[in-house]
Amino acid sequence: MSPLLTRSAKGPAPLAERIDALARALDTLDGVAADGPLENVQELLDRVDRRRALSAEHTVIGLFGATGSGKSSLVNALVGVDISRAAVRRPTTAKPVAAVLGESGSDALLDWLEVEDRHHLDGTDAALAASATQAPSGRRARREQAAGTAGAPGIVLLDLPDLDSVESANRAVAERMTGLVDVLVWVTDPQKYADAVLHQEFVRPFAGHDAVTVLVLNQIDRIREGERDAVLASLASLAQADGLDQAPVFATSASTGQGVDELREHLLHIARGREAIASRHRADVRLAAEALQDAADPAGLPASSTPAEIDDLVEDLATAARVEPVARAVGASYRYRAAGRVGWPPLRWLRAARPDPLRRLGIGRARDGEGLERTSLPEPDAAARARAAGGVRRFADAASAGGSDPWRAAVRSVARSHEDELPDALDQAVAGADLQATKTSWWWPVLDVLQWLALLTWVVGLGWLGLNALLAFLGVPPPPMPMVEELWIPIPLPTVLVVLGIAAGILIGVAGGVVAALTATWHRRRARRVLMARVREVARELVVDGVDAELELAASAASDLALARG
């Protein structure tokens, strides 16, 4: 069973493991995915690390809304004192305003948030502080007491600039805060609750943040009672369309106080649970993992290249390495050297006038001071080079079949990263192969001895005839010449020796040539096997290993992204 399946069986992975998995996936996808998503995820990881290093006792709750939503008035109503200026003139809030409950550790947190306007609350003058110190009642109280979270929580309640502020700096502050706060409270009003800009640009990007998202329809008093339920249902439906299936929807009126107590109690409940920070980070990590997967999905790639794909690559590279010409030269070299030992001696000098086919290719001949060998094979022609390059490309495409375009491009890039080195490496592989270029056969000396005996036979017969002719020319009676009577006519023995020696030499030479041709075929096939093995080593070192490593990275990234998604 895989670790991922084991983890799934036990439950969601701890947040720390998911963050680490996201960081590993980010490193793996560097150079594969586009820079934009990678930079966004790196910024997220930096924010998460920084937030986790700051106060865990304080829950940062940010109220976000468009101009005219009554956000500042709602903050004042929640807090119980006027900490944020609310007026008809807009934009009202130009800088973040913080209501802080619980001072210990809040300063460093507020410095990181870049909030200068801070109001520390106590139970004597602030409804929020008073409510926080009161013990909750009912089933929620029993749950909080059982969990050990009852009591006054630390809260940083932020009134933020308008999301649609005409001042670009104000809007930039609000947008930055959406990534920093622990709880997102989207405040809207009856006129703008269905505003496309609010939902598409701000709410929808935080889909899946249900645990730390609250939607508030403020100024509910402006809607007739009989129409309120329908408007609230419409807002809830829009939230579901934005990916917030379980985010609560509250109806409030800062001017009449309607729904303010319920909203305040809900925010206090979130803060008492002390899970908002982790919930926010889990949702952020999940969204970041999904963004990375959208940018360069590592799923769908095979675990490694297949033997058939490697065989096809080796065949293509073998063409560029001139394996077939070299293998044929090995067979021709064997026949060449065999003919020099078993051929008819009077004609061996003709063979010696031609070079060894294998030596002509420069196989086995040192060219530099380090003893490295190179061949004298001609450079591969355009067709051979095209087949080698096409083979590498086809191998990369086949090995990455089923993957996303960024990963396929990454695999192709890795496969071709050593393309310039391939010609020289293949040449070195051929030059350094053990082709047994000097290997002889046991039957060579046997036929060589027989050839020389045949030569001696016809030389003796020819010399005998020559000596008799010389004596006759000099007028000296030659000795009687033995006759071979067994033939159809008597033939002088020297003549028989000449004919027999020449015929035997030719027959031995023909027989040796046939045996040499058969043996040369075996040597050619062996040489091809050896050369193909050498080409396979080059292919694995310069192409296959890199592609397999990239496929392993993809598998690792897929596992890490799955873990980061929880």
70-105 residue pLDDT tens: 899 999 999 988 887 665 444 456 789 999 988 677
Long-range pairs, 177-180, Cβ under 8 A, ≥24: 177/62, 177/64, 177/96, 177/113, 178/62, 178/64, 178/202, 178/206, 179/43, 179/44, 179/47, 180/47, 180/51, 180/60, 180/62, 180/112, 180/113
Whole-number pLDDT of residue 123: 60
Which of residues 382 and 148 earns the better pLDDT score? Answer: 382
147: pLDDT strictly greater than 80: no
What pTM value is reported for the model?
0.77
Grade residue 214 by pLDDT with cuts at 50, 70 and 90.
very high
Residue 272 burial class via C-beta count within 10 angstroms: exposed 0-12, middle 13-18, buried 19 and up: buried
Whole-number pLDDT of residue 502: 87
Whole-number pLDDT of residue 126: 67
| Runs of H (alpha helix) within 152-259 | 168-178, 196-197, 225-241
- Report the pLDDT averaged over residues 189-204: 87
Grade residue 18 by pLDDT with cuts at 50, 70 and 90.
very high
Grade residue 10 by pLDDT with cuts at 50, 70 and 90.
low
The bridge status of strand 491-492 relative to strand 483-484 is: antiparallel
Q: Which CATH number fits domain 57-273: 3.40.50.80, 3.40.800.10, 3.40.50.300, 3.30.540.10?
A: 3.40.50.300
- Nearby residues of 283 by Cβ (< 8 Å), 6 or more positions away: 206, 208, 209, 211, 212
Strand ranges across the sheet with 213-217: 117-120, 97-101, 154-159, 58-65, 183-188, 213-217, 249-251
Q: Quote the CA–CA distance of 35 and 392 in Å, as a whole number.
A: 27
Q: What is residue 441's DSSP assignment?
A: -
Whole-number pLDDT of residue 367: 42
Strands (E), 389-532: 483-484, 491-492
- CA pseudo-torsion sign 451, 456, 457, 462: positive
Do residues 564 and 289 lie in contact, with contact meaning Cβ atoms separated by under 8 Å? yes
Q: Quote the CA–CA distance of 127 and 99 in Å, as a whole number.
A: 12
Most confident of 290-294, 502-506, 510-514, 517-521: 290-294
What's the start-to-end Cα distance of the chain, in Å? 18
284: pLDDT strictly greater than 60: yes
Domain boundaries, the chain: 57-273, 307-565
Which of residues 47 and 347 earns the better pLDDT score? Answer: 47
Do residues 430 and 407 lie in contact, with contact meaning Cβ atoms separated by under 8 Å? no
Look at 43-52, 127-136, 198-207 and tell me which has the smallest mean pLDDT: 127-136
187: pLDDT strictly greater than 90: yes
549: pLDDT strictly greater than 90: yes
Average pLDDT score over the chain: 85
- Nearby residues of 71 by Cβ (< 8 Å), 6 or more positions away: 63, 64, 65, 93, 159, 160, 162, 187, 218
Whole-number pLDDT of residue 4: 46
Question: What does residue 154 show for φ and ψ, rounded to 5 degrees?
Answer: -85, 130
User: Residue 63: in which H helix or E strand, if any?
Assistant: strand 58-65
Strands (E), 459-507: 483-484, 491-492
CB count in 10 Å sphere of residue 10: 8
Whole-number pLDDT of residue 446: 86
Which tens digits make up the pLDDT trace of 303-356? 899 999 999 999 999 988 888 888 888 888 888 888 888 877 777 767 666 777
Q: What is residue 12's DSSP assignment?
A: S
Whole-number pLDDT of residue 365: 47
Q: Quote the CA–CA distance of 512 and 451 in Å, as a whole number.
A: 10
Using alpha carbons only, give the angle 547, 553, 554 rounded to the nearest 5 degrees: 90
- Report the pLDDT averaged over residues 462-470: 86
CB count in 10 Å sphere of residue 188: 26
Peptide bond into 91 cis (omega under 30): yes
Long-range pairs, 481-489, Cβ under 8 A, ≥24: none
Long-range pairs, 448-452, Cβ under 8 A, ≥24: 448/341, 448/342, 450/504, 450/508, 451/342, 451/343, 451/344, 451/345, 451/505, 451/508, 451/509, 452/345
Whole-number pLDDT of residue 432: 80
- Nearby residues of 474 by Cβ (< 8 Å), 6 or more positions away: none
User: Residue 349: in which H helix or E strand, if any?
Assistant: helix 348-352
Whole-number pLDDT of residue 531: 92
- Nearby residues of 367 by Cβ (< 8 Å), 6 or more positions away: 373, 374
418: pLDDT strictly greater than 60: yes
Write the DSSP assignment of 299-328 as a string of letters.
TT--SS--HHHHHHHHHHHHHHTTHHHHHH
Nearest to 504 by CA among 436, 444, 449, 546: 449
Where do we find the tokens 């290093």?
Answer: 53
